[in-house]
Amino acid sequence: MSFASLRFGALGLNILGICLLAYALSGPRPPGRRWVNLGPVESESPLRIGHQVQLLVDNEVLCDFQHVRRVMGPVRKHPQNPVLQADQPWERNATVMGGLQPATAMYDDSDGLYKLWYTILQPQTFGGSGVAYATSRDGVHWSKPNLGLIEFAGEKGTNLCRLEPFGALVRGLRLVQDPRPRPSERRYLGIGVWPKHEDGTWFGGWLGVARSSDGTTWRHMGGGVREGSGGGFPACLWDESLQRYVLFHRQLTEIALPEQRKRYIVRQDSVDLQSWSPRRTVFNPLNPVWPEVESMNVFRHEGVFFGLANTLETRERGEMEIHLVISRDGYRWEEPFPDRAFIPRGPQGDFDDMLVYWAQPILRGDRMHFYYGGARYSHGYPHEPVVDDGTSLALLPHQKGRYDPRPNRIGLATLLRDRFAGLRADEPVGAFLTRPLLVEGDMLYVNAAVDRELRVEIVNPVGEVFDAGPKDDWAGHYISAREEVFPGFSRADCEAVTGDGLNLPVRWKAGSIGKFKGRDVRLRFLGRMATVYAFVIK
């Protein structure tokens, strides 16, 4: 044996002796306990939700659910649909060649008006299309004000918008969703605006940027980005967390089979609406029935990105309808109801029985308003296109140019606030449990439709790990865990929530959830014949 081996062997014995001495001096240990850690255990860090409404459109705030199913909120079409259609002299050719499409919409608190910009599809007069402006006090009955900006047949008494410095009709316009205060000359920001070439023709296929102080006279700002394959409708909004604009529109040329046209959604970012990041694919559904996304309007509500995807069926009838897609970051999107339309096509004979598309959302009071385009003709030219001769539907053999469609018109659909989707519990009972939440409010409110009853209990997010002792079917001790429902806040202590309301209060015998302000809790919802769409602590 070498000297080095003897030296390190002696060193090892010394270290072992020191360890044994330290163990002996540490005092007696309960047999079997040194290998496990018993006591309270936290499962995960709490979510800081503040006073923000928690929408149950996905599982972001949930950790478990049993005997519940996700259901779509009921979207209602207005009985007076269509609420806007071609009825002015400068819109007359649109009754044959295309009609009116919603371009963008908003509610303006400063003057108490619903405002709708719409596109007149009129190739014979405008060489393609033009943007007009309408206002309403109630969101149903619309007026087309005399702006005096664009001449038609020798008269300037039209509601057509003007684009400077070209002194021409605005073509292509979508409002940029940016709630930040801005100088008056940039009160409205628009994207998708076509600029003009020096020879007087348009730069088609370019998403230009424009600004306006009144929403009717616009000034081109330069910059922009190439629009997606075949055009479509872009959607642009300011992301406060990223401090940049995000743009959603169609892909450029990237298609798996170049000989077959395909549409899906990409994203680009910008800090100034002038220079844009490279395109990134964000939504391309693998849906055999609705395989393409013609366009997708995007808005953000209560921390969630919502996409109103114009999904297109391309194999048989060329139908289009709006599907709901959601995202938490604007990159990863999911479709909670891939086989069901959020805004469906109407029954045969209605103005929207073939195409429903490009819904413009406005939240006003307790309702979300969606102004959408509807038509009775096929999108594209499938083998047996469904066309409309103005009185009835008929199937014609494939022959391009045989369309005589009823024009595109604008309809209204509404949804009760925050009821995009909910969790439905049937009999005998269904339940879901939230992730740990930091309580920063005084009262818990639920947005729910309850036929029987709904109860909530408050659970300690810190579980208890303990030694359950020997078990008959287990050779030795078994380590188990248990939860604690806070005394006075169990399901038995909760006053039953009943009825249908957007802000139903939840109370317990021991008081309100405000007793836990500054602490972490889990909420367990238990329902019978009840649908919960959202909850908030405020």
Q: What is the per-residue pLDDT across 164-201, written as a single tens digit (0 to 9) for each? A: 999 999 998 999 999 999 999 999 999 999 888 888 88
Structure tokens at 210: 């424009």
For 76-418, CATH gives 2.115.10.20
Of the ranges 43-47, 199-203, 389-393, 459-463, which one carries the lowest mean pLDDT score? 389-393
CATH 2.115.10.20 occupies which residues in the chain? 76-418
User: d(Cα 197, Cα 199) in Å, to the nearest integer?
Assistant: 5
Does the model's pTM come out above 0.75? Answer: yes
Other beta carbons within 10 Å of 498: 14
Structure tokens at 242: 């990223």
The predicted pLDDT at position 6 comes to: 37
Amino acid at 374: G
- Residue 278 backbone phi and psi in degrees, to 5: -60, 155
Give Dmax over CA atoms of the chain in angstroms: 113
Of 151 and 267, more confident: 267
How far does the chain reach from its first CA to its final CA, in angstroms? Answer: 77
Of 92 and 284, more confident: 284
The predicted pLDDT at position 125 comes to: 59
Strand arrangement, sheet containing 113-122:
99-108, 113-122, 128-136
DSSP state of 208: E
User: d(Cα 303, Cα 394) in Å, to the nearest integer?
Assistant: 45
The predicted pLDDT at position 196 comes to: 85
The predicted pLDDT at position 153 comes to: 76
The predicted pLDDT at position 19 comes to: 43
User: d(Cα 205, Cα 117) in Å, to the nearest integer?
Assistant: 20
**41-73+422-537 CATH, one of 3.30.420, 2.40.50, 2.60.120, 1.10.3470:** 2.60.120
Mean pLDDT of the chain: 87
CATH 2.60.120 occupies which residues in the chain? 41-73+422-537
3-state secondary structure 221-263: CCCCEECCCCCCCCEEEEECCCCEEEEEEECCCCCCCCCCCCC
Other beta carbons within 10 Å of 471: 11
The predicted pLDDT at position 127 comes to: 61
Which is nearest to 264 in space by CA: 221, 295, 300, 299?
295
Distances in Å between the alpha carbon of 297 and those of 102, 107, 482? 12, 17, 46
Other beta carbons within 10 Å of 140: 15
pLDDT, tens digit, 9 for 90 and up, residues 406-464: 689 999 999 999 999 999 999 999 999 999 999 999 999 999 999 999 999 999 998 88
The predicted pLDDT at position 123 comes to: 55
Q: Pairing relation of β-strands 280-283 and 174-175?
A: unpaired
